[in-house]
A and B are shown apart, each in its own frame.
Chain A
Amino acid sequence: EADIYQTPRYLVIGTGKKITLECSQTMGHDKMYWYQQDPGMELHLIHYSYGVNSTEKGDLSSESTVSRIRTEHFPLTLESARPSHTSQYLCASSGDRGQDTQYFGPGTRLTVL
């Protein structure tokens, strides 16, 4: 059973607001990921982290930023939200030593008006 949490589950905000999407895992996994999923579309990687103080951008260009100060915590921030940021954001984590399986959180559905 995966223990990975995301808050909030749903967020509706106005254009220009700064937001932070939270992601936490209690499995001690070193690797963490952020994916973006539009309705009916496939997931695309936007950020990943190998461990504390290690973050990289994924394949899909995103105006969001991430930080990894603690192993269990991987927040995503949008400095100035726009309607084009409306999407589902999914956080995942995986362990080391050949344990490649990524476990996903419940997601945050973001709507920017």
Chain B
Amino acid sequence: EDQVTQSPEALRLQEGESSSLNCSYTVSGLRGLFWYRQDPGKGPEFLFTLYSAGEEKEKERLKATLTKKESFLHITAPKPEDSATYLCAVQTKTSNTGKLIFGQGTTLQVKP
């Protein structure tokens, strides 16, 4: 069964304290792995798509990496405005719907 697991469930950081969020996946064949940011009461906001092991993408203080079993979202010198829930999702090669399989998310709180 295709599955996505994110850890930790919650993370508290001080402003400027770098850290990483983990997304482990078990799928029959990975087509793409997606990272989203979701603020309370809002829809997910697209951050990155990764397609193959070894791929990396960056945007401001965020950097996403991908291996054959997991993805990391590295947050460098976070600011309070980075506080949100970060969602990881996968799309499989066997799916004919293009659906995304989501993890439960990591809720990040950055304190000033």
Contact = CB atoms under 8 A, between A and B. Distances in A.
Contact of B46 (A6, A31, A90, A103): A103
Given A100-B31, A100-B91, A58 B99 contact: yes
The 10 A-B residue pairs whose C-beta atoms are closest, nearest first, are A104-B43, A42-B102, A45-B99, A43-B102, A107-B43, A104-B44, A106-B43, A42-B104, A105-B43, A48-B97
Interface string B8-50: 0000000000000000000000011010100001111110010
Contacts of B31: 100
Contacts of B44: 43, 90, 104
Contacts of A102: 34, 46, 98, 100
Contacts of B105: 42
A102 B31 CA distance: 14
Interface residues of B, number: 23
Interface string A1-34: 0100010000000000000000000000001010
B56 to A, nearest CB: 17
Interface residues of A, number: 26
Interface of A: 2, 6, 31, 33, 40-45, 48, 56, 58-59, 90, 92, 94, 100-107, 109
A42 B104 CA distance: 4
A48 B95 CA distance: 12
Given A42-B104, A101-B49, A90 B43 contact: yes
